[in-house]
Structure 1
Amino acid sequence: MPGIAIVTDSTCCLTRQEARELGCTVLPMTYVARGERRPELPQGENGDYEAILREDPFVGTESVYQRDFARAFERLLDSGRDVLCVTMSARLSGAHRAAREAAAALDRERTGVGGRVQVVDSWVTASGLELVVRQARALADAGLSLTEVADGVREFRGRVGIRFAVPDMRPLRRSGRLGATRRSVAGMLGRYPVFCLREGAIETVEVVRGGISAARELVGPVPADVGTVIVSHFGHADELARFALVELRRRRPKARVLVKDGGPVLTSRLGVGSLALGWVDASGGGSGVAGGEASGGGEATGGADVASGADVAADGSGAGGADGLGGR
């Protein structure tokens, strides 16, 4: 099959059907709980992972190994396709480095590979990573070369907005991804720290009291003309998710709102009960959501409706070394 194949990691939260439609191979991250390594399965197929995480508050995570990226790249190259690998933020995980090393090794070891694998840091994760993957597919389907698609994705990633709120700072603090000044918010009981991702790094936006205030802070920067907003809940959708959906309906009534489960790996790092919003700022050109609207999440017409499904590596493997999100 000619053309460009896309490879990404499981924090993109695509359903199995979505990944298939996008021509995307999703390599699973891994979480380690109660002494057992568990691959992150497709969206909606991870069972009651919240119960597992509640029983073991010191869950470790592992990114995708270099060898698993290499296997995926080789399989796709052998099928005649070029490969674009889009990973979660390099400042949050070791997946990007592993993918780059896999691509470099193939360049050295195989003739004719040079330039046929490109690896791009998305600067985001969760719903943001999904939006970047969809843009990559749209660019590839428009007939652009691999290099043009990679350059287009690098331009597009700066227009993807991500905000998230956490009810408990301890999991995020253990991840090691907060600077010393950011850690100061951890001791404020009854508060919701709200963060954003800026060029892949976590930055504190505000610390507010109560779920309603947190929802307002999450929804505030969403553009008035946004096409689609993806709401990612981590663990069971709770009161904060409901507040955010009400706020979106009130302030962005024309937006299409999709609700998705953030999955066990990110939940273990952010904490059960966290919530994230992802969107595309169209002010720089382009549509409100890239590459066609996301289709696998539940329409937010009332309570949180959770999507299911994503195309993982054929053998279900792909776990890697201790993840940059913070293993044990």
Structure 2
Amino acid sequence: MKQRIAWITDSTAVVPDELREKYDIHVVPLDVIFEDGAYADGIQLSSSELYEKIDHSKTVPKTSQPAIGKFVELYEQLAEDYDCAIAIHLSSQLSGTYNTSKSAAAMSEFPVEFVDSQIVSYPITTLLLKGISLAEQGMDYREIAATLREEASKNENYIVIGKLSQLHKGGRLSNAQLIVGTLLQIKPIFCIRNGVVELFEKVRTEGKAFRRIMDQLDLARGIHKISQVEILHGNVMDKALELKETIKSKYQDIEVLVYPLSPVLGVHGGQGTIALTWTNEPKSS
């Protein structure tokens, strides 16, 4: 008999309402903490509301993983209707969410397989959809999780930081770095490798930064099969759509999805941030 598998993730993933309803995906929110209290990511605080609050705040808010009780309650509820579950969370190197979820499953004695996505945002959704597809083919939930752990290493991503002032406000840039960076129009490009944020390169001007990440897409395209790319943005839909058009004009066969960064990710990336991400699949022989 086909296993009844529950799917769990956290609010850093991009899970549109239609996907949640179709596949009954359970999303546990992280919190964004301002001086006036904590807000559940994506529930009590939208991406656009986040940046407005930051503009009127003296300090950048902090973020917090979900309390273990939220996961315990969820797993106890799921145990009533499902045989098992697969939980796919943001990188364990960036948040304690993965380990908290794992501890909660042990407490509830509900069989859950865990996948460390080693990433954030839409790539988590990609893993969820691949897992659901494998489940529909009748694969055992343990085998699905093992497959998804291998798939997680295929992601490639580049993040162009928006406002240096937000990094400065959050204590991640000194006064001198802010002044020099602003005067020289420096745009740092970051990437997430093996679950850790790394500086990929510093370039002058935003235009050069976008050309640089397009170079990386071109390079990857020459080696791998890439059928879809995702653009995540920090409240700059116009720039995201412009980048989409650039990609579509060059690669008509690549599907380009555009989504906002979740509020939790917006806290760390800042308004104006653009991320480009894709999965490197092997080319057919």
> TM-score band (shorter)?
0.7 to 0.9
Structure 1 window deviating more from structure 2 (15-24 vs 85-94): it is 15-24
Amino acid at match of 2:119: V
Structure 1 window deviating more from structure 2 (145-154 vs 210-219): it is 210-219
How far apart are the structure 2 equivalents of 1:260 and 1:37?
A: 24
Contact kept, 8 Å, 1:28 with 1:39, in 2: the verdict is: yes
- Larger RCO, structures 1/2 (Cα 8 Å, 6+ apart): 1
Aligned-residue offset at 1:231: 0.7
Matches within 5 A, 1:101-250: 101-107=103-109, 113=110, 116-169=111-164, 171=166, 188-189=181-182, 190-222=185-217, 223-224=220-221, 225-239=225-239, 241-250=240-249
Contact kept, 8 Å, 1:10 with 1:42, in 2: the verdict is: no
How far apart are the structure 1 equivalents of 2:135 and 2:272?
A: 36
Contact kept, 8 Å, 1:231 with 1:276, in 2: the verdict is: yes
Contact kept, 8 Å, 2:11 with 2:41, in 1: the verdict is: yes
Residue by residue, what CA displacement relative to the aligned partner does 1:289-318 show, whole Å, maximum 9, x if unpaired? xxxxxxxxxxxxxxxxxxxxxxxxxxxxxx
1:159–1:172 CA distance, 2 compared to 1 (3 A): farther
Residue by residue, what CA displacement relative to the aligned partner does 1:116-154 show, whole Å, maximum 9, x if unpaired? 211221101012111122122122222111210110110
Amino acid at match of 1:247: T
Residue by residue, what CA displacement relative to the aligned partner does 1:64-101 show, whole Å, maximum 9, x if unpaired? 11111111111112113311111000111111111111
Aligned-residue offset at 1:248: 1.2
1:43–1:217 CA distance, 2 compared to 1 (3 A): farther
How far apart are the structure 2 equivalents of 1:149 and 1:48?
A: 37
How far apart are the structure 2 equivalents of 1:92 and 1:127?
A: 16
2:208 match: secondary structure: helix
Aligned-residue offset at 1:245: 2.3
Amino acid at match of 1:83: A
Q: What's the counterpart of residue 260 of structure 2?
A: 261
5+ residue gaps, structure 1, are 108-112, 179-183, 286-328
Aligned-residue offset at 1:173: 7.3
How far apart are the structure 1 equivalents of 2:168 and 2:235?
A: 18
1:219–1:118 CA distance, 2 compared to 1 (3 A): same
Q: What's the counterpart of residue 61 of structure 1?
A: 63
Contact kept, 8 Å, 1:10 with 1:28, in 2: the verdict is: yes
1:220 match: secondary structure: helix
How far apart are the structure 2 equivalents of 1:256 and 1:156?
A: 19
1:54–1:210 CA distance, 2 compared to 1 (3 A): same
TM-score, L = length of structure 2: 0.85
How far apart are the structure 1 equivalents of 2:209 and 2:44?
A: 26
1:50 match: secondary structure: helix
**How big is the alpha-carbon RMSD for the aligned residues of Structure 1 and Structure 2?**
2.8
Are 2:81 and 1:79 equivalent residues in the alignment?
yes
Are 2:13 and 1:22 equivalent residues in the alignment?
no
Aligned-residue offset at 1:219: 2.7
2:237 match: secondary structure: coil
Contact kept, 8 Å, 1:83 with 1:146, in 2: the verdict is: yes
Aligned-residue offset at 1:247: 2.8
1:221 match: secondary structure: helix
Large movers: runs of 4+ above 6 Å: 173-178
How far apart are the structure 1 equivalents of 2:45 and 2:178?
A: 32
Amino acid at match of 1:84: I
How far apart are the structure 1 equivalents of 2:127 and 2:271?
A: 25
Q: What's the counterpart of residue 96 of structure 1?
A: 98
How far apart are the structure 1 equivalents of 2:136 and 2:180?
A: 48
TM-score, L = length of structure 1: 0.75
1:280–1:173 CA distance, 2 compared to 1 (3 A): farther
How far apart are the structure 2 equivalents of 1:242 and 1:191?
A: 23
How far apart are the structure 1 equivalents of 2:192 and 2:137?
A: 29
For the pair shown, which has the larger CA radius of gyration, 1 or 2? 2
Q: What's the counterpart of residue 42 of structure 2?
A: 41
How far apart are the structure 1 equivalents of 2:17 and 2:165?
A: 32
> Which structure shows the higher helix fraction?
2
